[in-house]
Structure 1
């Protein structure tokens, strides 16, 4: 048995190496608090600054592949969230609070001034944590299909098992790299439902990066404790006075719009929900959804300069 496990781990290491070579980092790295964070910047210098935070199991290319063109007139920072894509994550128990603090330090190092944030799915929860804990770093937000409230159900078994001793390393280093590639397209398709999976989506967004041991474990750490993380912050959303527009679809099968976006939009003092009837969990990849994100971003920025918003 031990020989079989070692053999599988060796094969998994080879597959992980292939993925890393195929989707090598092509952005810049900035070391913040001894943590290397990977990012891209697009758009003209001097344009309004936007920070894009992707969701679980993803990397910066998930948002960038859909929105770089529509947001070409903004200065957008596409960040691999800590632990995912090619960004590192420090050791120790991780939480949205720690992640927001690291991102705030990253923005300081980038000298961006306050940014408007686009957060997708779990990136929406990180966005609101950033706005609550570091309001001076943010200037409003657009949340796409955000996951924001606790009691979303039990974490998937594979996320919990990834953190177990003995079993976890085998899952991370052998099972996931070897069996994961065959599951990527079907998993992505279920997230897009009822919308169709875009052509070449898995390749374009470099989804296979999640199958590498580091990102897989980091994502499992987030998702295994998702209810605890959200319970620790959802009662504070009323503190956020900056404008926030939530974009979601009633048919989202990954994150319930009724459970998450509806009540949080009502809780946020300057919140607004814009529903897209035909959208699933990734509306920004469709023409109408991308246009809705741009329109929401422009609305948020306009509200920030309105007379009744200047004291927020």
Structure 2
């Protein structure tokens, strides 16, 4: 269950831990539903990013939210990591919890991991919901969109990495939030707990930035994924994500697309009711469609 504490939704479930792929992963499993749904947070965050939507999802699903390796309560290993490790962790967690096949919902870098999982391990998936993955490799080389992404990489993101390397984790987090992800002034408006989480997880963000395959996905393998796909975006999000979603729609023609009105890069935090509605409606519709196909 979840409880309201001073206007914020926080989890009342104790954290559990599982050892997968040589790393200790922290997770919470909430609800007794027959259908498993796994939530994958983005960079800088933790499983608590999903607290506003878990109560609305629990009546329909067995909801699993976890801290990705290197984040918050999960283990942070030394040495260069990779998103491929995140993909392997996610698949192993689903299997460990006997949640195959699972719905997987990812935001930002978590959405990129979800799509990489669809390309690498479609066997563990019931379907996917992804919000604005930063998969810049999908942008056409030499296009204005690719140039804009490169300008962000060489501008504010390079400065974010420099600040983390210099030990200024708080300054790096503020710059990322205000100049890249959410817009000017967003850092000041974030709850104290979320700001602390960002600062705590800054070293892992630097590790992600140093992964040369972070913004890439195997397009050929992804195009072979035929399960249900919901692509979502916010009409107030940075415009860089739009061409990425356009390319994903070409690779995954079965995908549906929803735009959250008035929302940006974290609709599960800012517009939780709309987020829950879209996830529940899409998964229910997809399940009904699968049943009809099975009866043919």
Could you state the TM-score of these two structures normalised by the residue count of structure 2? 0.77
SS at match of 1:258: helix
Aligned equivalent of 2:264: 280
Q: Unpaired runs of 5+ in structure 2?
A: 1-12, 138-145
Q: Which moved more, 1:130-139 or 1:266-275?
A: 266-275
Q: CA shift at 1:30, angstroms?
A: 1.2
Contact 2:234 2:259 in 1 (8 A): yes
Aligned equivalent of 1:105: 92
Q: Which has the higher contact order (CA 8 A, sep 6+)?
A: 1
Aligned equivalent of 2:141: none
- Provide the C-alpha distance between the structure 1 equivalents of 2:264 and 2:105, rounded to a whole number of angstroms: 17
Question: Could you report, residue by residue, the CA deviation over 1:242-293 in whole angstroms, capped at 9, with x for unpaired residues?
Answer: 111011123312x634212122123114212112242211222313333223
Aligned equivalent of 1:61: 48
Size of the aligned set, in residue pairs, is: 268
Aligned equivalent of 2:191: 202
Could you state the TM-score of these two structures normalised by the residue count of structure 1? 0.74
- Provide the C-alpha distance between the structure 2 equivalents of 1:260 and 1:160, rounded to a whole number of angstroms: 23
Q: 1:101 to 1:208 in 2, by over 3 A?
A: same
Aligned equivalent of 1:71: 57
Contact 1:149 1:234 in 2 (8 A): no
Question: Could you report, residue by residue, the CA deviation over 1:204-258 in whole angstroms, capped at 9, with x for unpaired residues?
Answer: 6x3412322xx322111213446x43335345421211111011123312x6342
Q: Quick check: which has more Rg, 1 or 2?
A: 1
- In the TM superposition, 1:1-12 aligns within 5 A as none
- Provide the C-alpha distance between the structure 2 equivalents of 1:278 and 1:234, rounded to a whole number of angstroms: 31
Aligned equivalent of 2:233: 248
- In the TM superposition, 1:25-36 aligns within 5 A as 26-36=14-24
Q: CA shift at 1:161, angstroms?
A: 2.9
Contact 2:57 2:276 in 1 (8 A): no
The yes-or-no answer on 1:270 pairing with 2:254 is: yes
Aligned equivalent of 2:169: 176
The yes-or-no answer on 1:119 pairing with 2:106 is: yes
Question: Could you report, residue by residue, the CA deviation over 1:1-41 in whole angstroms, capped at 9, with x for unpaired residues?
Answer: xxxxxxxxxxxxxxxxxxxxxxxx95111122331101111
CA RMSD of the aligned region, Å?
3.3
Q: 1:70 to 1:90 in 2, by over 3 A?
A: same
Aligned equivalent of 1:82: 69
Runs of 4+ that moved beyond 6 A = 196-200
Q: Unpaired runs of 5+ in structure 1?
A: 1-24
